[in-house]
Structure 1
């Protein structure tokens, strides 16, 4: 492996994870408005609403004139509607509040080893960047979670106008840094959107997956990270 200069990172479920399931957050918000909805029902409804919205308005509906905030507000409202909540005024207030809540550090946990691994990568002289299918709130979330300072850039699918696994988002990141694909590696938890997509853009990549989670995926053992703390050893070995 040519000496790597740039390491790019997925964020959700790679560096950060939600502190509790979406349904718990939504249920707690509903209670503050005197509305009782079970977290399990909201979880199920959220996945249904999110999937439908993604299908009809991919990448936050940017190509159809939506803002990412409008996109998310619609998902939240539909989640509650599917769970039996109908009053528009309450739906709007809950959607606005939840949109803000998901920006704050109390909604997210930094994954074990993330801060330490990023610090060590910086100490070893690697340039770091983010490539994430997220919206523009990601800068604020990373700052709130005390991770933003590690990265030269944060490239979201909203910024790029294309989402992983489209290789153009990786190519845009490489151009931002003036780095050749073979001098860069991407770290993420999703086989298609992270591991394979980065390789199709000519980069190296590593898949974060707990032992035994690889299943039937065609991923060489030396590309699999049982935890983030394994990364530097694999990079140096390469």
Structure 2
């Protein structure tokens, strides 16, 4: 059995996922404000806006003096502009509503097996924390989804100023917990930002894989490090 003292977790698409495609939520909030835009158009334009914003202003634009709230407001406004809505008097309240809506348990759902797995890790006496490329709303989201109590602390890239795969966010988690890297493991769904990054600081790590990528040789992940579902984690820890 792996002698783990600390287990750190990614959140989005590891423990929580969006209940609906982004375009559906954007379209629903826009309707409340009297704006009609098709969800499909908004999903497409969101991905364009998000990609451009992330490229020009990485990690919520912290180095450029932006707040994450302003960063997201710009993403929302550009999403609607690309979909043909360009009136700031409409876009500002829509952006504010969406910022609040994405804190809600109405927007997020817990992945199958997550609650059970977190509970079982507690029973084994493993301390747990979060390392996530997220803004500071994550504390509220985890609380609203009744998961926050599982974790000693939540490290977001906005709070720390470093985004995965930067080693410094993992190193900060190890310092805060007082645990050596070889006694810690990280669980996430991204090969570069989660699996590889944690290993690069000397931690163990497990990669949650989608079925279609489970046997992707390019990932260079041994089978004993891959999780077809969260329910597989405990057996791998015990085998290790």
| Structure 1 residue 158, shift from structure 2 partner | 0.6
Q: Deviations over 1:45-103 (max 9, x none)?
A: 00110011111111000111011100000000000010000111110000000000000
Equivalent in the alignment of 2:190: 190
| Structure 1 residue 210, shift from structure 2 partner | 3.1
Distance in 2 of aligned mates of 1:4 and 1:190 = 21
Tell me whether 1:61 sits opposite 2:65 in the alignment.
Answer: no
| Structure 1 residue 36, shift from structure 2 partner | 1.2
Aligned residue runs from structure 1 range 119-134, under 5 A = 119-134=119-134
* Residue segments in structure 2 that go unaligned for 5+ positions in a row: none
Q: Is the CA contact 2:187–2:208 (under 8 Å) kept in the aligned structure 1? A: yes
Give secondary structure in 1 for the equivalent of 2:109: strand
Q: What CA RMSD, in Å, does the superposition of the two structures yield over aligned residues?
A: 0.9
Equivalent in the alignment of 2:232: 230
* Inter-CA distance 212–51: structure 2 relative to 1 (3 Å threshold): closer
Q: Is the CA contact 1:68–1:158 (under 8 Å) kept in the aligned structure 2? A: yes
TM-score scaled by length of structure 1: 0.98
| Structure 1 residue 236, shift from structure 2 partner | 1.0
Distance in 1 of aligned mates of 2:210 and 2:61 = 33
Q: Is the CA contact 1:2–1:182 (under 8 Å) kept in the aligned structure 2? A: no
* Residue segments in structure 1 that go unaligned for 5+ positions in a row: none
Give secondary structure in 2 for the equivalent of 1:105: coil
Distance in 1 of aligned mates of 2:27 and 2:212 = 34
Aligned length: 238
Q: Is the CA contact 2:2–2:238 (under 8 Å) kept in the aligned structure 1? A: no
| Structure 1 residue 2, shift from structure 2 partner | 5.4
Aligned residue runs from structure 1 range 68-107, under 5 A = 68-107=68-107
TM-score scaled by length of structure 2: 0.97
Distance in 2 of aligned mates of 1:223 and 1:39 = 37
Q: Is the CA contact 2:2–2:239 (under 8 Å) kept in the aligned structure 1? A: no
Distance in 1 of aligned mates of 2:191 and 2:46 = 23
